[in-house]
Structure 1
Amino acid sequence: MAVGYFFDLDGTLYTHRTHDVSSNTIKALNILKEKGNRVFLATSRTMAELDHLPSSLRQFPFDGRILEGGARILDKEGNDLFKVKIPSSSMKQIQDLCQRHGWIWRYSNSFGNFWAVLPTVSAHHAYFKLYLCAPTYTPYTNQEVLNVLIFLNDPSNVEMIKKGVKDCSFVDFRHAVEIREKSVDKINGVNWCKKAFDLSEIYCFGDGENDIDMLKGADHGLCMGNGHPRLKAVADEVIKSVDQDGVYQYLKMNQLI
């Protein structure tokens, strides 16, 4: 049985400060693989949002990629292993709420990322700043959906969305809310991989509030030094920040590489 290492992407492996991944981080991932471990990505990003990553990270042979916050799992060849769609009834509630309040929203599926309505310039720029790419405009007409992101002017509207949309789980980013099917979370993707890949032990690394359950459910839950205070509170250990090669330093210090 192999040991599994699961890594969040943004703020863990990848820094938005330079839109890059350090050579030490890639070195660490390669050594983990060479030692016979299984290495996984666990991110809220969609497949399309991986396209503009540095080639060293984009082409790394992860054993699996947990995407869409846990709604989709791909093998190393890019084939779907697991997928959970948002119910059509929930999508109708999302669409109605967004139309009523004039909210900009993005939906994603196996084929890409799409603006459901024409975005404002600020929404487009905010998205591009994060991912160096942007969705195409394709109005929602009952397509398959794995993940929704609603942009909000007023953070208090998140509670309205949680009350108005049934059978879903939510990640609150204050000025945006991510919506997935109610059973979807990164930890469920990790547990699916643990069983499918016959993993004996789990290490999970993250930095955001959406990593809380993943770190709590791991044998070893590691929070980056740049991580959210709530994640630091539940982590087994807080390591150095992404800009200090936190992943590499932790693995080297603990003789895991």
Structure 2
Amino acid sequence: MKEKSIIFFDIDGTLLTHEKQLPQSAKEAVFQLKKKGHEVAIATGRAPFMYEDLRKELEIDSYVSYNGQYVVFKGEVIYKNPLNILALERLAETALLNDHPIVYMDHEDMKANVVEHAFIQESIQTLKIGRFPTHDPLYYKGRDLFQSLLFCQEGEEKQYEEIFEDFDFVRWHPLSVDVLPKGGSKARGIAKMTEKLGIAKSNQYAFGDGENDMEMLTAIYNSVAMGNAEDHIKAAAKYVTKSVDEDGIVHGLQMVGLL
């Protein structure tokens, strides 16, 4: 058996197909890894409440949520990196002047600062999570928020990047960007977990396909980009596997010698 390793999997486009289905081969691979004694964790831009069913199905209780801002190991929160609330309030006020709504997100729920907006509906429905944010423009008050969603068309986030230095803006949909604490990333969240476990860099693996996986794929020693990733994301990884629709998880794990 190989020395104990930890493997981090992105969700959308990595574990789940673009139709948000979990391939049976990927599910079986996760259980094989655990049977071999390895740690398996999720690393995603999603909120914890957006993939509870997936965690239950895969029996995974360690995860890096919100692109690294909320980290849980074996059901215990080990790291939190909330947004600057005063800066977020200013961002929301400015964005509304441009008809760009905001969704506030903590570890339990998400609330929009507008009653409804076509951009929110269109982008959130692509996640197929069965829920949409309800209206609460003051949800940011008195609580830790780990990520927000800013809804605007591609390129329009540039005006906010120039003004709001407390945040990073990472696009995940043509109509929406993640708003993260400056310097926050999956790579930083993963580091908090691997430091706790004391697992050597050579025994750390990560699979991803999206823009928000770039830091993770660059930082993790054994990084694997999915075949469905764009070329610049593939270039950031050590390995490139097949597409998520072509049993890419199994192929990648075999490629790196874990299966």
- Scaled by the length of structure 2, what TM-score is found? 0.90
Match of 1:100 in 2: 97
Deviations 1:233-252 (A, max 9, x none): 11112110000010112223
Match of 2:178 in 1: 178
Deviations 1:137-191 (A, max 9, x none): 22135242110111113x2221111112121222134432211111310000111
3-state SS of paired residue (2:137)? coil
Deviations 1:184-224 (A, max 9, x none): 10000111111111212211110011111101111111100
Runs of 4+ in 1 over 4 A off after TM superposition: none
CA distance in 1, matches of 2:168, 2:47: 17
CA distance in 2, matches of 1:97, 1:75: 37
Which of 217, 224, 227 is residue 225 of structure 1 equivalent to? 227
CA distance in 2, matches of 1:176, 1:125: 10
Quote how far apart the aligned CAs of 1:254 are.
4.3
Which of 231, 235, 238 is residue 236 of structure 1 equivalent to? 238
Of 129-138 and 102-111, the range deviating more from structure 2: 129-138
Name the Cα RMSD after superposition.
Answer: 1.8
**Is this contact kept in 2: 1:93–1:164, CA < 8 A?**
no
CA distance in 2, matches of 1:220, 1:76: 23
- Scaled by the length of structure 1, what TM-score is found? 0.91
**Is this contact kept in 2: 1:9–1:42, CA < 8 A?**
yes
How many percent identity over aligned positions?
A: 25
Alignment of 1:1-257 (within 5 A): 2-17=4-19, 19-51=20-52, 53=53, 57-77=55-75, 79-132=76-129, 133-140=131-138, 141-142=140-141, 143-153=143-153, 155-173=154-172, 174-200=174-200, 201-257=203-259
**Is this contact kept in 1: 2:123–2:176, CA < 8 A?**
no
| One-letter amino acid matched to 1:135 | P
CA distance in 2, matches of 1:22, 1:222: 18
CA distance in 2, matches of 1:64, 1:113: 21
CA distance in 1, matches of 2:165, 2:145: 15
Quote how far apart the aligned CAs of 1:122 are.
4.7
**Is this contact kept in 2: 1:150–1:178, CA < 8 A?**
yes
Deviations 1:115-155 (A, max 9, x none): 121222452143123233211222135242110111113x2
**Is this contact kept in 2: 1:215–1:235, CA < 8 A?**
yes
CA distance in 1, matches of 2:170, 2:148: 10
CA distance in 1, matches of 2:145, 2:107: 8
Deviations 1:3-60 (A, max 9, x none): 110111100001122x210111011111111111111100000012114x55xx5432
**Is this contact kept in 1: 2:119–2:151, CA < 8 A?**
no
CA distance in 1, matches of 2:5, 2:121: 40
